[in-house]
Structure 1
């Protein structure tokens, strides 16, 4: 095998494929990236039995062939070399040259590398930027508790009547939901499945600049329990998680006693300042007053205290409510509007955070309050 590629193309492709490499591979060959050069194309694959990646870049191929090399090492090298990169397989060694630099890499046994799963038939098509934005917004609520694996998932639900796919995630303290319309949908009925949240986020970020993305939900023809995220030159498969998230439709209130609008940038800055003295036992308290002021407070009389004010527009009676500052900042950062809208029923029930003026398909962020004690 012998070929030449541009360093920019190689770095991007190796970085994409290396996303699926396991930190602690169960077998040594899973730490490798599979390189396949033919027909003036270099194809790079990574696989850990749960996630697979497949990407292609143009190459000047003088000798077709395949090789399996250390993915982390190749990724580090590809990120540092410049200009044309020449790779040649010599026996059990891969020789990489770029400018004055020369690397000799050992190869891994090809015969031990598992076959990649076949991607399923596309369920529908989404714009790459919109898909990446939606996954990023919702992924902030994915759980990190290893004791409850289902909460590490990001749920995708196809609504046949509406022609939409809805993304949802929760860690029991907040619930994020975002809906997208999609085209060319080939599904004949409602369908719901749970993808590994972090892996789906990585896959979505990788296709953020692609005009369109084909998405396959498990149970579609040929999917075999796999999600597939496919763009023009890259494909990621994700093995679906077992179980399902709690039903969120009944968790979001439909009637509210208080609604407040706040400029996001000003509120985020104030939360970050006040949070400097906040602890797990002392969350941030938000008091929405009738004189168009939102007062943020944290700390106790025995410890450090902080107070800050921002402007707000309140519809309803005055209200004091408390939130975990990290969860509140996650929700504010996920919004794409200039102003946030808080919707409350009471100070002890979940609040809804959304972009001011946004529609029902935009991000809705349900946030559990922290009960205040005297």
Structure 2
């Protein structure tokens, strides 16, 4: 086996496939990347027990063939290679990588012990890469981190006609984002749970333009974009339905500038040690505003911002400042709308021009009961 590749193309291909490799594995070959060169193309593949990834790139094939090498070591080498063409070849029991005056040698792993890559599931449709990446980022902040509750570490992926819905919850917050997609079959319907960590990695690396093909069966979900494909095993269980949770009866509605509120939350929460809440006091009328306060006893902070309030003369709520910051930062619109039910009750965050019933992006938070100051 021998091929020639540009340093950038090789490094990108290796990085794409290496992201699924396990940090530690009792099966040594699962730490390897499979390189397959033929017909002017190089395919780089990796897998573990949960996910697989493969990508194709142009490469001048001198001698076709396949080789399995330690993936993370090859990735480290690609990061330090000088620019320009790279020559890779199998020489006996060693895989050599040479660029300019730099040369590396890696021992090869036994190909016969390497599992077959799982096939891509059945194609279900396509979604815009940029919109999909943004939607995953919007909801992933609400996914749980506790591996003892695996269902809460996932993102719900629901396909219904021409609409894709992504949702995540850690029991204290619940984020939902809908986006259009092009179904291969107008009658397609699916409701599955995918690892939030895996889906976030995929969304970040799929690219920002062009269609992403979505494939799905009963055990895995797959994505394909610009010569790169990946599969992820589905999680067991389901997230609780958000329809009832998101139904807020006659809330007070506050609207304020999003960027200013983000900065104020970041500033005031500096004194909110130990997860202590950040309190927001909204006032209506001619001097409508919101007062942010945090801290106890001598260490306190506050800031007042312009804000409108409808549906109540005043409203005081308090939130975990990290959760509130995550919610606000997942929006990009200039204004933010908070639909408030009161202290210790649900609160909905949406873009300023959208209502909880019409918003494509909704983030539900539980407020806490106690006051801060």
Q: Could you tell me the TM-score, scaled by structure 1's length?
A: 0.95
Whole-angstrom distance in 1 between the partners of 2:305 and 2:12: 43
Match of 1:69 in 2: 69
Whole-angstrom distance in 1 between the partners of 2:345 and 2:60: 62
Q: Cα distance, 1:10 vs. partner?
A: 1.1
Match of 1:172 in 2: 171
Whole-angstrom distance in 2 between the partners of 1:71 and 1:320: 54
User: Which string of whole-angstrom CA distances, capped at 9 and with x for unpartnered residues, describes residues 240-292 of structure 1?
Assistant: 00000011111002433311111111111111111111034521001111222
Whole-angstrom distance in 1 between the partners of 2:99 and 2:318: 57
The more displaced of 312-321 and 126-135 is: 312-321
Match of 1:344 in 2: 340
Q: Cα distance, 1:204 vs. partner?
A: 1.1
Match of 1:240 in 2: 234
Whole-angstrom distance in 1 between the partners of 2:62 and 2:252: 69
Match of 2:124 in 1: 123
The more displaced of 70-79 and 356-365 is: 356-365
Match of 2:190 in 1: 191
Q: Cα distance, 1:296 vs. partner?
A: 0.7
Whole-angstrom distance in 1 between the partners of 2:234 and 2:197: 12
Whole-angstrom distance in 2 between the partners of 1:296 and 1:218: 48
Match of 1:156 in 2: 157
Match of 1:59 in 2: 59
Whole-angstrom distance in 2 between the partners of 1:312 and 1:26: 57
Q: Does 1:91 align with 2:87?
A: no
Which of 346, 349, 355 is residue 351 of structure 2 equivalent to? Answer: 355
SS of residue paired to 1:123:
strand
SS of residue paired to 2:182:
coil
Q: Cα distance, 1:206 vs. partner?
A: 1.1
Q: Cα distance, 1:373 vs. partner?
A: 5.1
Q: Cα distance, 1:57 vs. partner?
A: 0.5
Q: Cα distance, 1:76 vs. partner?
A: 1.4
Match of 1:5 in 2: 5
Match of 1:282 in 2: 276
Match of 1:200 in 2: 199
SS of residue paired to 1:79:
helix
The answer to whether the 8 A contact 1:131-1:208 is kept is: no
Q: CA RMSD in A?
A: 1.5
The answer to whether the 8 A contact 1:168-1:176 is kept is: yes
Whole-angstrom distance in 1 between the partners of 2:177 and 2:6: 38
Please, which runs of 5 or more residues in structure 1 have no aligned partner?
220-224
Whole-angstrom distance in 1 between the partners of 2:354 and 2:84: 46
Q: Cα distance, 1:181 vs. partner?
A: 1.4
SS of residue paired to 1:270:
helix
Whole-angstrom distance in 1 between the partners of 2:250 and 2:193: 31
Whole-angstrom distance in 2 between the partners of 1:361 and 1:232: 31
The answer to whether the 8 A contact 2:345-2:368 is kept is: no
Match of 1:34 in 2: 34
User: Which string of whole-angstrom CA distances, capped at 9 and with x for unpartnered residues, describes residues 12-57 of structure 1?
Assistant: 1111111101111131111111100001000000100210001000
The more displaced of 34-43 and 206-215 is: 206-215
Whole-angstrom distance in 1 between the partners of 2:304 and 2:92: 69
Whole-angstrom distance in 2 between the partners of 1:271 and 1:184: 41
SS of residue paired to 1:265:
helix
